[in-house]
Amino acid sequence: MQKEIVLLPGDGIGREIMNSAKVVLDKVATLYNHQFTFHSHAIGGAALDEHGVPLPEEAVQACKTADGILLGAVGGKKWESLPPHLRPEKGLLEIRSTLGLFANLRPIKGFSSLLHASPLKEEVIKGSDILIVRELTGGLYFGKPSERREDGDAAIDTLYYHRSEIERVVDHAFKSAMIRDKHLTSVDKANVLESSRLWREIVEEKSKEYPEVTVEHVLVDAAAMKLITNPNSFDVMVTENLFGDILSDEASVLTGSIGLLPSASLNEDGVGLYEPIHGSAPDIAGKGIANPLGMILSAALMLRHSFELEEEAKAIEDAVQEALEQGYHTADLHIQNDGKQVGTEEMTQVVLNILSKK
């Protein structure tokens, strides 16, 4: 199989972990006889430095014709005081919006060998396996542009959703539930927000098309609590953009580290951008200690969702699992010193070695 892959490393640890995903994909290409061609483009702070904008047009064009897109992370202190349209994060929001990537899938499944690495009790997190479907191109992040103003001491962000935006992401979540445990939790703030009342109404309507799926509505504040007290009560969760952003970072605690979690952002045509859920981690950037596994697992999601290479995706996921079972881990995973704490490159090498032995 021949595929063109766009790499958007971005900033901070994004640049360090992107190489890990690339070499793992190179290995998969060799082992399974595929041809992956990579095209790298700047985004975020790196693009501001090189081109003066957070998302250069050439990167957009490359993404539009790519078979799959991998993104590291954007952002950093250097660019924090720039005006909103020149912030690195604007580049990321723009590429999501331009490509219509409305469904952000964030699977949160702990590795059994890491149950003890979470600050939560093992008996609470054991067996948890959640898919957060986060709406990604609307809600509080995008508002209605004409209403988003900064006016002296006041600022407005609008939580606007059109019915069609909710319908498509909710439908995606129901479809995901159908191939999982057939339980959907819709998270909203319907006791306060009008947009949530519309959201809830649409979930109820849609549920008629999926009678096998049990539906539960949970208010976002209670959901935040339940996620860490009873994570096993969730299968698929669907929610608004900002709620999903916050809840997925919280859910990462179940696994032991945010550095382990991948995500897939998909549009109507199944075109996808794949990125770990964490950020550019300025506090550890440049030290060579970032966990590359969320990025590597994002590459596996690309093989599965965009290229339909299930066997190859699974091979990567199994290799990551085995590396962790063998005790290898990066510094973000708080495991008693056992001599198997490694840096980004060594962790990547361990995964490559396991893959080669398949």
Which tokens in the block code for residue 297? 């697992």
**Helix, coil or strand: residue 71:** strand
**Residues 126, 221, 314, 358: which is the catalytic one?**
221
Amino acid at 73: A
- Give the one entry of ligand IPM, Mn ion, ligand NAD, none that residue 290 binds, where binding means its C-beta sits below a cut-off of 5 to 8 angstroms depending on kind: ligand NAD
> Which element (helix H / strand E) includes 273?
strand 272-276
Q: Contact between 240 and Mn ion (CB under 5 A)?
A: no
Q: Contact between 245 and ligand IPM (CB under 6 A)?
A: yes
Residue 67 is among the residues annotated as catalytic for this protein = no
115 is in an annotated binding site: no
Q: Contact between 284 and ligand NAD (CB under 6 A)?
A: yes
> Which element (helix H / strand E) includes 132?
strand 129-135
Q: Looking at 85-93, 162-170, 227-235, 254-262, which segment touches ligand IPM (CB under 6 A)?
A: 85-93
Candidates 89, 135, 235, 245; binder of Mn ion (CB under 5 A) is 245
Site string for ligand IPM, 277-316 (x = CB under 6 A): x-x-------------------------------------
* Rounded-to-integer distance, Cα 274 and Cα 306, Å: 10
Residue 189 is among the residues annotated as catalytic for this protein = yes
Q: Contact between 92 and ligand IPM (CB under 6 A)?
A: yes
281 is in an annotated binding site: yes
Residue 5 sits at φ, ψ, to 5 deg, of -120, 125
285 is in an annotated binding site: yes
For the range 165-169, what are the long-range contacts, defined as Cβ-Cβ under 8 Å and sequence gap of 24 or more? 165/102, 165/135, 165/137, 165/138, 166/135, 166/198, 166/199, 166/202, 167/202, 167/206, 168/102, 168/103, 168/268, 169/102, 169/103, 169/133, 169/135, 169/238
**Using CB under 6 A as the criterion, which residues of the chain lie in contact with ligand NAD when the complex forms?**
13, 73-76, 89, 92, 258-259, 275, 278-284, 290-291, 294, 330, 332
